């Protein structure tokens, strides 16, 4: 079809055109996310936040407004206080939410750290309680998993526990040699320093060393040496002890106090531990300072979270569940987690608490294979004689119970083992190479009866039809939440430092995620209702009303500003 004309036409644009200030209410649709979020946060009990204000001085920004702004900012993937303050001046949804109030970045950050920092668990519990009341969660099934998030710390300011122990040992050896040299010179100078007791306890601390050096220093001031060279040497050694050894020993003691059983920490953020992250761009297994974040979900809502300094998930389960029950007041009935949590200590703890565990152990999937079931050299496939407490090996020999074995881990959990040994010498057996690769003459292995019993209970639960269906949901439950937070929202690194700051920041992330998901469900449900034929007239009426409301607002603003303009003009003449 031929064009009617070739003239270039632009829409009217006049940079000098007078613009009237218009209420952002008219530009935000009724089904916008920010409106629903505003209504949801209004339902929260913020009495714990208000109690943090001391009173006096000038008026403060309302904590409800600041809480709304913070949560909405985290929903939008804005985590910096400076960027949040900028959004309050430039973003129309932020303006509407704050009702044109513009707290600066210091006010936002102060509210986040000082007011919200101690009450974040209370706010999170309020959100979870709303979800329980609405029927979205009930703690029947608790899908647990963890992820590692990088700390706001320098990658290269690390301190290792093993290195600290090594340096401390070498320092003590140096102190010992210096004290021995001082004692030797004192003997050569006919005890010019008097009777010196330079021996220290094997586990002496910096305070004891400092006291000993001070005593030697006092005697040195009054002593008279025959040889000036030796006197100068003793003074130099005492100076090394005072200025170098005492200082370094205090430093290593401080490191050990900060480590508190960990294998490392960062000098920038002392609470951060060096862990292996999935984001390894160099592909060299680089360690980064970070935190192990544990969350529990149901219906893809976060209903529990905790922050840990240990890089392994196994040791986090017990502490995590205790914190969840303390914060929310609910105890899960069923725990669903991957094999990272499959340990005897965890199985036993869940059983004692009356919680059903759907947690795989590390060899669960391998045990379901045909190769594993048909392996005649696998001890689990051997015939067991209960009366004699013995196994029958592939060669037909008896492997009998030898002695018990008790072991305890670093957390004090005690495990009981039974050690078995073959009656006859294995050398010369035709199955020797495949059955037993140890150096002993007789095959020996150990079994944990309590652990095997717990594994059997979990195995039966997981292999049932109901168990398979429950465990299958784990992939779309907790993994989805981590994917949205880390990939879609871009939250891969903490901004705040220390356990308190990290807990606050992750708590805000979880609250924001829950409120956004709930708001989207409400909006989606409302859209489905208003698009029904029976609600079409109501929907049209609402749209018509909003259009008339907008027109009245424009006319009102126009009349107001026109009247002001002409009044000023006539007053001037």
The predicted-structure confidence for 144-200, as pLDDT tens digits, reads as follows 999 999 999 998 889 999 999 999 999 988 988 888 888 888 777 777 777 776 676
Q: Check: CB of residue 77 under 8 Å from CB of residue 509.
A: no
Buried b (16+ CB within 10 A) or exposed e, 56-68: eeeeeeebebbbb
Taking the C-alpha atoms of residue 523 and residue 148, their distance in angstroms, rounded to an integer, is 33
Band of the pLDDT at 411, cuts 50, 70, 90?
A: confident
Look at residue 206 in the predicted model and tell me its pLDDT.
87
pLDDT for the residue 518: 93
The DSSP call for residue 486 is I
pLDDT at 531 over 80: no
Asked whether residue 165 falls in the same domain as residue 198, the answer is: yes
176/232 same-domain check: yes
pLDDT digits (tens, 9 = 90+) for 95-125: 999 998 999 999 999 999 999 988 999 999 9
Specify whether 524 is located in the same domain as 545.
Answer: no
| 526 and 546 both lie in a single domain | no
Q: What distance in Å separates the CA atoms of residue 362 and residue 448, rounded to the nearest whole number?
A: 15
Same domain, 238 and 211: yes
Percent of the chain exceeding pLDDT 90 equals: 49
Residue 202: is its pLDDT beyond 50?
A: yes
Domain contains 348: no
DSSP symbols for 505-549: HHHHHHHHHHHHHHHHHHHHHHHHHHTSGGGHHHHHHHHHHHHHH
Do the bridges between strand 301-308 and strand 398-408 make them parallel or antiparallel, or are there none, so unpaired?
unpaired
The answer to whether residue 546 is domain-embedded is yes
The pLDDT value recorded for residue 1 is 58
List the Cα angle 298/300/306 in 5-degree steps.
70
- In the chain, the number of structural domains is 4
Residue 413 pLDDT: 87
More confidently predicted of 433 and 171: 171
Same domain, 178 and 242: yes
Position 285 in a domain: no
* Residues 172 and 98 placed together within one structural domain of the fold: no
Answer yes or no: are the C-beta atoms of 273 and 289 closer than 8 Å. yes
Residue 330 domain-assigned (yes or no): no
Q: What are phi and psi of 149, to 5 degrees?
A: -120, 135
Q: Is residue 278 part of a domain?
A: no
The residue from 238, 266, 294 where one domain ends is 266
Same domain, 188 and 245: yes
DSSP strands (E only) in 258-385 = 264-266, 273-276, 287-298, 301-308, 334-337, 356-359, 383-385
Domain shared by 224 and 171, yes or no:
yes
Domain boundary residue, one of 449, 484, 509: 449
In which band, very low, low, confident or very high, does the pLDDT at 519 lie, cut at 50, 70 and 90?
A: very high
pLDDT at 289 over 80: yes
pTM, entire model = 0.84
Asked whether residue 260 falls in the same domain as residue 195, the answer is yes
Evaluate the CA torsion angle 16, 20, 23, 25 in order and state its sign.
negative
Q: What is the pLDDT of residue 12?
A: 78
- The answer to whether residue 230 is domain-embedded is yes
Residue 467 lies in a domain: no
Tell me which of 16-25, 254-263, 410-419, 441-450 is least confident.
16-25
Residue 404 lies in a domain: yes
End position of a domain, from candidates 228, 244, 266: 266
Contact 507, 305 (CB under 8 A): yes
Over residues 29-50, the pLDDT tens digits come to 888 999 999 999 999 998 889 9
Query: Would you state the pLDDT for residue 3?
Result: 65
* pLDDT value at 550 more than 70: no
- Give the structural domain span for 559: 541-572
What is the rounded average pLDDT of the residues 253-271?
Answer: 92
Q: How confident is the model at residue 558 (pLDDT cuts 50, 70, 90)?
A: very low
Residues 554, 524 share a domain: no
Query: Are residues 254 and 190 part of one domain?
Result: yes
């Amino acid at each position: 079809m031929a064009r009617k004309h070739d003239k270039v036409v632009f829409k009217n644009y006049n940079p000098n055109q007078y613009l009237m200030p218009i209420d952002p209410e008219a530009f935000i649709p009724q089904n916008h996310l920010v409106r629903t979020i505003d209504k949801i946060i209004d339902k929260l009990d913020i009495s714990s936040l208000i109690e943090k204000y001391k009173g006096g001085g000038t008026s403060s920004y309302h904590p409800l407004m600041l809480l709304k702004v913070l949560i909405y900012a985290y929903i939008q993937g804005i985590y910096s206080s400076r960027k949040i303050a900028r959004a309050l001046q430039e973003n129309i949804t932020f303006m509407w939410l704050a009702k044109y109030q513009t707290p600066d970045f210091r006010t936002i950050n102060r509210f986040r750290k000082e007011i919200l920092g101690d009450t974040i668990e209370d706010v999170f519990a309020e959100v979870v309680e709303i979800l329980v009341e609405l029927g979205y969660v009930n703690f029947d099934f608790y899908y647990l998993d963890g992820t590692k998030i990088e700390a706001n710390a320098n990658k290269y300011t690390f301190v290792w526990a093993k290195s600290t122990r090594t340096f401390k040992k070498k320092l003590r050896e140096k102190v010992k040699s210096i004290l021995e040299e001082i004692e030797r010179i004192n003997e050569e100078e006919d005890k010019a320093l008097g009777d010196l007791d330079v021996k220290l306890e094997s586990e002496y601390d910096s305070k004891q060393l400092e006291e000993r050096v001070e005593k030697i220093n006092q005697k040195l001031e009054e002593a008279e040496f025959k040889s000036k060279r030796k006197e100068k040497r003793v003074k130099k050694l005492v100076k090394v002890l005072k200025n170098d050894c005492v200082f370094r020993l205090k430093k290593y003691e401080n490191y050990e106090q900060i480590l508190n059983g960990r294998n490392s920490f960062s000098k920038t953020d002392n609470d951060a531990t060096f862990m292996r992250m999935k984001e390894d761009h160099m592909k060299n297994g680089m360690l980064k300072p970070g935190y192990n974040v544990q969350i529990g979900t149901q219906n893809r809502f976060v209903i529990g979270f905790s922050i840990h300094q240990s890089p392994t998930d196994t040791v986090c389960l017990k502490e995590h569940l205790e914190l969840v029950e303390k914060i929310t007041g609910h105890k899960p009935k069923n725990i669903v987690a991957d094999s990272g949590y499959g340990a005897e200590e965890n199985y036993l703890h869940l059983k004692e608490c009356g919680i059903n565990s759907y947690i795989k152990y590390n060899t669960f999937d391998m045990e379901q294979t045909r190769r594993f079931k048909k392996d005649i050299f696998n001890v689990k496939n051997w015939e067991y004689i209960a009366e004699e407490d013995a196994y029958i090996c592939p060669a037909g020999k008896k492997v009998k119970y030898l002695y018990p074995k008790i072991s305890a881990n670093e957390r004090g959990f005690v495990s009981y083992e039974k050690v078995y040994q073959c009656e006859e010498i294995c050398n010369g057996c035709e199955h020797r190479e495949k059955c037993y690769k140890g150096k002993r003459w007789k095959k020996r292995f150990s079994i944990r009866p309590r652990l095997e019993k717990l594994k059997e209970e979990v195995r039966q639960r997981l292999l049932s039809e109901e168990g398979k269906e429950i465990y299958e949901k784990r992939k779309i439950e907790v993994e989805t939440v981590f994917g949205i937070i880390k990939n879609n929202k871009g939250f891969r690194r903490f901004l705040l430092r220390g356990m308190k700051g990290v807990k606050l920041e992750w708590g805000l992330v979880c609250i924001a995620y829950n409120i956004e998901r709930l708001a989207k469900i409400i909006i989606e449900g409302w859209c489905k209702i208003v698009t029904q034929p029976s609600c079409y007239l109501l929907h049209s009426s609402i749209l018509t009303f909003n259009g008339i409301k907008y027109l009245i607002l424009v006319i009102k603003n126009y009349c107001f500003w026109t009247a002001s303009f002409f009044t000023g003009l006539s007053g001037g003449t």
